[in-house]
Amino acid sequence: MGENLNEKLDEYPARTRTGVPVAVATIVVTLATIAGFVVSVRTLATEGSVAAGVAGLVTSILVLLVAVFVAVGLYMIQPNQSVVLTLFGDYRGSDRTPGLRWANPLYVKQKISRRVRNFTTETSKVNDANGNPIQIASVVVWQVVDTAKAVFGVDDYVDYVHIQSESAVRQLARSYPYDAWDDTHVTTLIGDPIEVNRDLLVELQERADDAGVTILEARITDLSYAPEIAEAMLRRQQASAIVAARAKIVEGAVLMVRDAVAQLEAGTTDANAIPLDSDRKATFAANLMTVIASDQPTNPVVNVGTLSR
């Protein structure tokens, strides 16, 4: 039974036709009916044939009612717009052809826009995968592609898309940590925007299928820690940045000291090579590391004695 219901909800073309010939014919018939009505009234007023006058009046009224009934079937479709047609609650198809159209006057016609729409979700306060409170919002670009599902699949497709978008953004925020600090193998909200936005798009599309909507784009536009922990997290980020910078400096300093010792001992020739024992290498390395790795200016000390004093 569920499969049959889904098949009925799929959009299919309605049996309609262009409305210009119908509109022209309706106008001509209406004018002719008015003329016939006037002639019948004059016939009765001039004491002509009463039967002919009454017959003319009745015929004119009936034809006019038929013309009005036919004219009810006319409707206008703008570009990127569809009309869903129903007859006594039964879906009879959708018309996407722009212009003046005509269908069975008994059809109920509901216009659905197929234009691209976008909106920004409200900034939500949720906990990320690590339990830290964050604030997150996103922009969603969407379009109706199946008008039957948009009308009959959900109660209000616009409200449905908005609510499901809010829910998907909250679910996404709970699935990833805001930041993984030193663990570069973990997908994070702040560090992997392309992957996170792709997952948000997939999640939204799964929810929007029931409403006949396609999600063209979904991306996070607002992402930050909640105010109550923002200052603490900022200090943590600064501390991590300082530690990472110092580690890089020390790594570079070690390489520089190793190269300097090797070049001193090798020299350009055997005559100018400077052999160093273990103690002198340690002293030289300590002094050079202090100069390179220190974040404060160093003051040189001139040794006027021997190397051993």
Confirm if 172 and 188 have CB atoms less than 8 A apart: no
Position 249 confidence tier, pLDDT thresholds 50, 70, 90: confident
The confidence band for 297, taking pLDDT boundaries of 50, 70 and 90, is low
Q: What is the DSSP letter of 122?
A: P
**With bands split at pLDDT 50, 70 and 90, how would you rate the model's confidence at 1?**
very low
β-pair type (81-87, 108-113): antiparallel
Instruction: Say if CB 189 and CB 223 are below 8 A apart.
Output: yes
Say which residues have a Cβ less than 8 Å from residue 236's Cβ, sequence separation at least 6. 181
173-216 tens-digit pLDDT: 999 998 876 666 788 888 888 999 999 999 999 999 999 999 99
Tell me the pLDDT band of 58, cut-offs 50, 70 and 90: confident
Report pLDDT for 4.
45
The edge-to-edge listing of strands for the beta sheet with 90-95 is 90-95, 81-87, 108-113
User: Mean pLDDT over residues 257-281, rounded?
Assistant: 73
pLDDT band at 273 (very low <50, low <70, confident <90, very high): confident
Residue 36 has a pLDDT of 85
The 3-state DSSP class for residue 306 equals: coil
pLDDT in tens, 128-170: 888 889 999 999 999 999 999 999 999 999 999 999 999 999 9
Find the mean pLDDT for residues 2-11.
Answer: 57
Nearest to 104 by CA among 71, 148, 61, 147: 71
User: What is the structure's pLDDT at 253?
Assistant: 78
CB 84 within 8 A of CB 94: yes
Structure-token match 């826009």, residue found: 113
Confidence of residue 6 (pLDDT cuts 50, 70, 90): very low
Among 64, 27, 22, 57, which residue's Cα sits nearest to residue 40? 57
Amino acid of residue 291: V
**pLDDT for 298 beyond 80:** no
Mean pLDDT of the chain: 84
Between the alpha carbon of residue 30 and those of residues 76, 105, 191, 304, the distances in Å are: 21, 17, 70, 121
Per cent of the chain over pLDDT 90 is 48
For 212-230, what is the mean pLDDT? 87
Q: What is the mean pLDDT of residues 10-15?
A: 92
- Which has more pLDDT, 276 or 31? 31
pLDDT at 61 over 60: yes
